[in-house]
Copies of this chain bind each other. A is one copy, B any other.
Amino acid sequence: MSMPVRGAATIVDVARRAGVSKSTASRALSGAGHVSPDAVQRVVRAAQQLSYVANPAARALVTSSGTRVVIAVVAPKPDVAVDHYITRALAAAASVCAPERIGVGLELVTPGHFESVAAWARDSTVQGVVLINTTEQLLAAIDRQLPGRVVSIGVGSRLVPSVDVDNSGAAFSSLRHLVRSGRRRIAIVTGPVWMPCTHRSIRAYHDVMREAGLKPRVVQGDFTSESGRAAAATVLRRWPDIDAIFAMCDASALGVLAELRARGISSPGDVAVAGFDDIPFAAFAGLTTATHPVEMIASAATRTVLEARLHRPDDLMFGSELVLRESA
């Protein structure tokens, strides 16, 4: 028997090769309904031989399984939306979907404009939605409209499972490392306040400072290198005797390092610096940081949406590992 030439194998090809009707083939492949073990085996084997993957367009038409996964990014302004973090997550999602013949779409949501949520809910071609940087407000809107088709990379809700890195754990290990290596005047450069993850790290920071009997010193940043540089300047002005700066992301930490260098302040000699994310450039710059397995997180979130479970899956929290380099 030869491969079909004109197009990809269809369920009719599989059924014919297995000697059953397409109804039976469909049931055998989906696992739903009763099918004799013998038939299941023949169908599965035929499907493998033909490299059969159900046509998602046809399936989407009859069920509501969808042909695409929407990656929805929440951002106050459209231009701040698509940073390296987002594009890495998108690439991971697109890689996970490709073998299933499912596509991904990228959509921006600005706070207060949640009309698109209703559109996704109505759209049978939307398999599901992966939220990035979501807010409590958006989650509330989703709970009402899209039950069971949404996963959040970030905070979750009663109905929306969360898949994320252990922000607190990452902050704990970096800060404890600083304390253990003798630092006593440790400042933190935060992310934007509207992002829930910012608060998790700030809380961890306060916990460690209290635990060690140290005074908290908080300066706000916005995850850019420029804001890190500005924050370092602020820190040095307010607390000239500072001996460590912990930034909530590597981009800001690199800004901190640049500002220190520009002022002739040595690192780690005078001021230790630690970041978070372990971006490729961090290794190059000798930045001590903690890993952020963005690809694993996005892959897991996307897989959850593809599986379309009936019950809310458990939250998933990925660990972060401290990476010691020169800067701290």
Tell me, yes or no, whether A104 is within 8 Å of chain B by CB. Answer: yes
Q: Are B69 and A103 in contact (CB under 8 A)?
A: yes
A102 to B51, CA, bound (A): 24
A125 to B65 alpha-carbon distance, docked (Å): 15
- Judge whether B103 and A67 touch: CB under 8 Å: yes
A residues with CB within 8 A of B: 6-8, 51, 55-58, 60-61, 67-71, 82, 84, 86-88, 90-91, 94-95, 97-98, 101-107, 119, 122-125, 224-226, 229, 251, 254-255, 258, 280-281, 284-285
- Of the candidates B57, B71, B122, the one whose C-beta lies within 8 Å of that of A60 is B57
Contacts of A225 in B (CB 8 A): 280-281, 284
| A255 and B226 within 8 A (CB) | no
Question: What are 21 contact pairs spanning A and B, CB under 8 A?
Answer: A7-B123, A8-B122, A55-B61, A55-B124, A56-B67, A57-B125, A68-B68, A69-B103, A70-B98, A82-B88, A82-B91, A84-B84, A87-B91, A90-B90, A98-B106, A102-B103, A225-B280, A225-B281, A251-B281, A258-B285, A281-B281
When A and B form their complex, which 7 residue pairs have the shortest distance between CB atoms, in order from nearest?
A: A103-B103, A68-B103, A87-B87, A94-B106, A98-B105, A57-B60, A57-B57
Q: In the complex, what residues of B have CB within 8 A of residue A55's CB?
A: 61, 124-125
Residues of B within 8 A of A7 (CB): 122-124
Query: In the complex the two chains form, is A119's CB within 8 Å of B56's CB?
Result: no
A68 to B251, CA, bound (A): 34
Q: Is A105 a contact partner of B105 (Cβ separation < 8 A)?
A: no
